[in-house]
Amino acid sequence: MISRRDFLQASMAASAIVGASGFGNWARLAAQQTLSQDQLLEFDGIGNVTLMHITDIHAQLKPIWFREPEINLGVGAAKGNPPHVTGADFRRMYGIEDGSASHYALSYGDFTSLARGYGKMGGLDRVATVLSAIRSDRPDALLLDGGDTWQGSYTALKTDGQDMVNVMNALKVDAMTSHWEFTLGIDRVTEIVENELNFPFLGANIFDAVWDEPAYEPYKMFERGGVQIAVIGQAFPYMPIANPGWMFPDLSFGIRQDRMAEMVAEVRAKGAECVVLLSHNGFDVDKKLAADVPGIDVILTGHTHDALPEPVLVGKTHLIATGSHGKFVSRIDLDVRDGEVKEIKHKLIPIFSDVITPDAEIASLIDAERAPFDAALSEVIGKTDSLLYRRGNFNGTWDDLICDALLEEREADIALSPGFRWGASLLPGDDIRREDIFNATAMSYPAAYRSEMTGEMLHLIMEDVADNLFNPDPYYQQGGDMVRVGGMGYRIDINKPQGSRITEMTLLKTGELIDPAKSYVVSGWASVNEGTEGPAIWDVVESYISRKGTVSVTPNTSVKVDGV
């Protein structure tokens, strides 16, 4: 596999400059080096088939900051294996120089300094430039979108995903699969899929809940370079559990491994020489699926937002992880001959927004989509003294801020914020615009409830969510991070079974242990229960930030983690 060398070419020249420097001074040095668009795109194509993968864009049309996780623990067989390797360990594993462009794009550590040096990442107008460059080399390259595309921004929320549908049509996507798409509600999804999308919306594992019949096209066959390619779609398996099932009451999901094996057999029987799974399972689920369902050549993974500079090989199946929020595009070239894949070459292309020239046509389309909302988007609500980020297994400063807002604005003892993996970062000193608040909160069930819960109930909830993250069998994981908690500390042993992972739950304001029999006032958001009441979370956060003017988030030391 020569992908690593290709990917790192962009950063090697840089390393020579910064090699002997002290950690923490990268920004100034980084600014001196030259990353070029040509370097980022450099790729000696092979074979006769090219795939381009984007996933988990979460409606981010414009470049953003996005800090990769510091804590991303694997359990069971996943422990210590990619993507459950972070920071310096990740850089050593892939031979990435500290302070390099790849360090900034792919790992946490010295994030603020590097961000100032290398600039924001993503932007679908830059992605468009990369896609065009690949297509000029390979006109019939397939563009596949792994889903979580229509949710995550102010404009996607206000237009019910229309801005994203328009842009993805303009990017000429060839097929997509889904997760958060369904939180627009089944009627809107149907409207888009039937009338507006110029490409298939695939989901082999989406069934009618009453009749147990397939509800969407499971796969699409493409002929490219004289090769029959099957693209099978797999939507997020735990849709009605992790998100509000009442928004799409007649649909059933699930991993449905036997169904996947049937689909692979079916497309092979129809003459597919190359089988691609466009998946929103999450990386660990896909790893298990690849081991249990033979015959898939490439799995384009999604959901868990992992960015890996090399494919992970399971048997003969190559797993590709393309990150999130438009930070990366993966290019995969395949040499398919005599009915099988002979060779594969991959490059994870980082979208450095200051290096890649925006595509003029897509840039103007994006501006047109945003224009009606410009005033609302750009209004400055406050300022942050701290780095605000979300990603990580246990807490992030964005959610600490949201929990602080819930505790104060809703006068609660304890605050809960869901362990979503989407949400852009902000650097210390940045203004907090309304758009930034929505980038961390925009979704269709935002009510910030306030209710009483007993200590026993809180413990049950914590245990339940922890098992969805740390069950040693990936098929029992849902792919989110741990629920974020304000006002309460706890200890977690990730290797214990459900019911005994969480101990030492402590009410921070008194320092007392949580009493199972006592009731506490709890405020949270994103309940999947129909009819939840309360103000929208973005209004709660906006009110809090505007009252504070400048917000500071102190490091969260209230979660103790064992069994790492």
Residues binding other proteins (CB under 8 A): 179, 209, 212, 236, 238-243, 245, 252-255, 258, 303-305, 416, 418-422, 449-454, 457-458, 460-461, 464-465, 467-468, 471, 473, 475-476, 478-483, 497-499, 522, 524, 526-529, 532
To other proteins, the closest distance from the beta carbon of 313 in angstroms equals 25
Whichever of 418 and 487 has its CB closer to other proteins, that residue is: 418
To other proteins, the closest distance from the beta carbon of 157 in angstroms equals 18
Whichever of 186 and 376 has its CB closer to other proteins, that residue is: 186
Distance CA 235, CA 303 (A): 10
To other proteins, the closest distance from the beta carbon of 545 in angstroms equals 24
Whichever of 199 and 475 has its CB closer to other proteins, that residue is: 475
CA-to-CA separations, 470 to 78, 478, 495, in angstroms, rounded: 10, 10, 7
Contacts of 259 (CB under 8 A, 6+ apart): 204, 205
Whichever of 303 and 434 has its CB closer to other proteins, that residue is: 303
- Per the listing, tokens 């069934």 go with 207
Distance CA 205, CA 192 (A): 19
To other proteins, the closest distance from the beta carbon of 55 in angstroms equals 13
Whichever of 388 and 465 has its CB closer to other proteins, that residue is: 465
What secondary structure does DSSP assign to 93-161, as a single string? HHTPPTTSHHHHHH--SSHHHHHHHH--EE-HHHHHHHHHHHHHH-TT-EEEE-S--S-SSHHHHHTTT
CB 324 within 8 A of CB 57: yes
To other proteins, the closest distance from the beta carbon of 303 in angstroms equals 7
To other proteins, the closest distance from the beta carbon of 273 in angstroms equals 30
Q: In what order do the strands lie in the sheet with 550-551?
A: 431-433, 380-384, 550-551
Whichever of 378 and 529 has its CB closer to other proteins, that residue is: 529
Whichever of 90 and 253 has its CB closer to other proteins, that residue is: 253
Whichever of 40 and 448 has its CB closer to other proteins, that residue is: 448
Largest Cα–Cα separation, the chain: 70
Distance CA 413, CA 430 (A): 30
To other proteins, the closest distance from the beta carbon of 65 in angstroms equals 19
Whichever of 125 and 148 has its CB closer to other proteins, that residue is: 148
Three-point CA angle 159, 160, 166, nearest 5°:
70
To other proteins, the closest distance from the beta carbon of 280 in angstroms equals 10
- Per the listing, tokens 């902000």 go with 426
* DSSP element (H, E) containing 506: strand 502-507
Distance CA 500, CA 496 (A): 6
To other proteins, the closest distance from the beta carbon of 391 in angstroms equals 9
Q: Which residues on neighbouring strands pair with residue 175, listed in sequence order?
A: 144
DSSP state of 552: -
- Per the listing, tokens 């029987």 go with 269
CB 189 within 8 A of CB 248: yes
Q: Is 423 exposed, middle or buried (0-12, 13-18, 19+ CB in 10 A)?
A: buried
Whether omega for the bond prior to residue 83 falls within 30 degrees of 0, making it cis, is yes
Whichever of 37 and 498 has its CB closer to other proteins, that residue is: 498
Whichever of 170 and 241 has its CB closer to other proteins, that residue is: 241
Distance CA 315, CA 291 (A): 7
Give the 3-state DSSP-derived string for 263-279, with helices as H, strands as E and coil as C.
HHHHHHHCCCCEEEEEE
Whichever of 43 and 490 has its CB closer to other proteins, that residue is: 490
Distance of CA 111 to the CA centre of its chain: 18
To other proteins, the closest distance from the beta carbon of 542 in angstroms equals 23
To other proteins, the closest distance from the beta carbon of 240 in angstroms equals 5
To other proteins, the closest distance from the beta carbon of 205 in angstroms equals 11
In sign, the C-alpha dihedral spanning 173, 177, 180, 184 is positive
Neighbours of 39 (CB within 10 A): 17
Whichever of 226 and 497 has its CB closer to other proteins, that residue is: 497
Distance CA 178, CA 160 (A): 15
To other proteins, the closest distance from the beta carbon of 41 in angstroms equals 31
To other proteins, the closest distance from the beta carbon of 532 in angstroms equals 6
Whichever of 454 and 503 has its CB closer to other proteins, that residue is: 454
Buried b (16+ CB within 10 A) or exposed e, 133-160: bbeeebeebbbbbbbbbbbbbbbbbbbb
* DSSP element (H, E) containing 322: none
